[in-house]
Structure 1
């Protein structure tokens, strides 16, 4: 997959070739070069969004966007079993979205990836 796509060159070639389908269907008047994701960036962003795509994980992140918290408190707030919440926190940790620190006998979770708070703000804003 290319890193850039020169739409101007594509459009020029289509018009030069007298591509009737292009001329009929395409009403795009964009001129310029489009910057595309690399294959590695696509994999990374896709995996990041897949992890966020689970409703329970999204709710956990909403809680952690306000305060760092232990799994027992998160499970109480969500009304879910602690083992289920731990499982989802483990997935978030594996994706390097959250991190944990030890505080006595408790593991306290916090958001590590700063993109999460931005995404949650966009979701709340409806933009």
Structure 2
């Protein structure tokens, strides 16, 4: 059984504006750069990771502090921190038996805050 395509939202004639298409293709970021961007958006597609990043906005926190801020277990927070560390969004330092995390890349805060503003407009 074949389905009819909805033609109300597509062109009735197949053609394209060669100059416009070529200009857009030339301006398109490289595949590798888009893959990196996808990783960024994947990382911030998780509520816990967003909360961790926002918690670290004003400075470093130990893992226990982050756990209490989020109301999550130490193991759950540690797992998310490992993901963020692997993406180089956070860094850590040891101080005796304590481990403190801070943001390694402040740009991620701007991206999240812009996203919050965007959804707030809806």
Q: TM-score, normalised by structure 2?
A: 0.74
How large is the Cα RMSD of the aligned pairs? 2.4
Tell me how far 1:69 sits from its aligned partner: 0.4
Deviations 1:30-75 (A, max 9, x none): 6982311111111111112111111100111110112210110010
- Residue 64 of structure 2 is matched in structure 1 by 72
Output aligned runs, 1:51-62, within 5 Å.
51-62=43-54
Choose from 81, 95, 102 the match for 1:89. Answer: 81
CA distance in 2, matches of 1:36, 1:118: 23
Residues 1:21 and 2:11 are matched in the alignment = no
- Partner of residue 33, structure 2: 41
Q: Which residue of 2 aligns with 1:120?
A: 112
Q: How far apart are the structure 2 equivalents of 1:75 and 1:85?
A: 6
Structure richer in strand, relative to its length:
1
Taking structure 1 as the reference length, the TM-score comes to: 0.72
Distance (Å, rounded) in 2 between the aligned partners of 1:119 and 1:82: 26
Q: Give the unaligned 5+ runs of structure 2.
A: 1-11
User: Which ranges in structure 1 are unaligned for 5 or more consecutive residues?
Assistant: 1-18
